[in-house]
Amino acid sequence: MTSENNLPLISIIVPIYNTPSFLPECIESAIGQTYQNIEVLLLNDGSTDSSPRICDSYAEKDERVRVFHMPNRGVACTRNTGLIEARGAYLLFLDSDDYMDREIVSALYKVMIDTDSDMVLSSYNIITETGDTHQEKPRQITGTYSGADFMQHIYDTDFLPQNIVLWGKLYKRELWQDVWMPENNLHDDEHALTFIIDRSDKITAIPQKLYYYRERQGSIMNTFNIEYQIKKSFDFMLVFNDRHQLFSKKGYDDLVVENLRKKSNSIRTTYKNIRNLDAKNKNKVIYKKRLKKEIGTSMKIYLSNKKVKMHRKVKMLIWYIKLLNA
């Protein structure tokens, strides 16, 4: 779908759950884009506050806004609905507690056309709970990469968070053909982004800070309790397992080893968290059983990998056996 001046339609997908304090600023930043041929999909994931009314009020004022009210099923399901309903040739994800510079769509689209990229990402600012803006640490990811080259930075801390989040990026729609977020998984975006990177022939990063990520204690990325962390670790193990298959298939030997190392660290942390649960916790036995299954799978992969040195295999085998017998 194109407008009269032949600019393609770009879909902005906004999953929403109980963020009334931030939602107006978020939506205003979307509908206020200098790039006019957009649609804004407001996907209300069963909010129990005034968020649904805020969404409806914007749909009444701007025909480019489309609202979807759904029972609460989590952000992954909400994003998947956005993928199904989006009509645009290009996609952009915006979290409902964040907001964007009014030039982000125009800037990313121009770079995408100029460089013939499949995905273009901007830099970002962090908004604190006090409303201040700061940059967590100097990060200047710039330039054009092949998908294979960008994949080599999937665990690069200098690329965080751009190598794990969906926001702040413009995607060609075809990248998302048959790619879905795993539902009820706290790492749904990280999982999906792995396969989007793999499908991309060319990825371009620009230095302009055009996305504003809000750092707040109540958000998913900043929640801490033991059982939450256990679920988060198990969810990430799904990412590790699927990445292992992809990296092995593509011949990314170094990433296979790094992925195994990351999963081993996750197993270690999960074991400690399970051990620290109250003895009366009814889920403790279930968690231990599931962890042992993950240990068995990882142990087989680790021992059969020729890139892992023998002394590391022996050390890991001893450690895994201890955990299995714990």
Q: In the structure encoding, which two tokens stand for residue 215, read together?
A: 């750092």
Question: What integer pLDDT is reported at residue 222 of this predicted model?
Answer: 47
Question: What integer pLDDT is reported at residue 244 of this predicted model?
Answer: 95
The number of distinct structural domains making up the chain is: 2
Is the model more confident about 247 or about 222?
247
Beta carbons of 92 and 169 less than 8 angstroms apart: yes
Same domain, 241 and 144: no
Length of the chain: 326
pLDDT tier at 307, thresholds 50, 70, 90: confident
Domain that holds residue 244: 224-324
61: phi then psi, degrees, rounded to nearest 5: -95, -25
Q: How far is CA 95 from the centre of its chain?
A: 11
| 65, pLDDT greater than 50 | yes
Domain boundary among 187, 220, 253: 220
Question: What integer pLDDT is reported at residue 223 of this predicted model?
Answer: 47
Burial class for 275, CB neighbours closer than 10 Å (0-12, 13-18, 19+): exposed
Domain boundary among 220, 237, 261: 220
pTM listed for this prediction: 0.92
| 50, pLDDT greater than 50 | yes
237: phi then psi, degrees, rounded to nearest 5: -65, -30
Beta carbons of 202 and 116 less than 8 angstroms apart: yes
3-state SS, residue 29: helix
Tell me the per-residue pLDDT of 108-156, one tens digit each, with 9 for 90 and over: 999 999 999 999 999 999 998 777 776 555 466 899 999 999 999 999 9
- Is residue 5, in this structure, part of any structural domain at all? no
| 274, pLDDT greater than 90 | yes
Tell me the per-residue pLDDT of 172-183, one tens digit each, with 9 for 90 and over: 999 999 999 999
In this structure, the number of other CB atoms found within 10 A of the CB of residue 315 comes to 11
Domain boundary among 220, 237, 256: 220
Same domain, 49 and 34: yes
Lowest mean pLDDT segment, chosen from 38-47, 49-58, 123-132, 234-243: 123-132
Is-cis flag, bond preceding 71, omega within 30?
Answer: no
Mean pLDDT of the 246-261 span: 94
- Is residue 1, in this structure, part of any structural domain at all? no
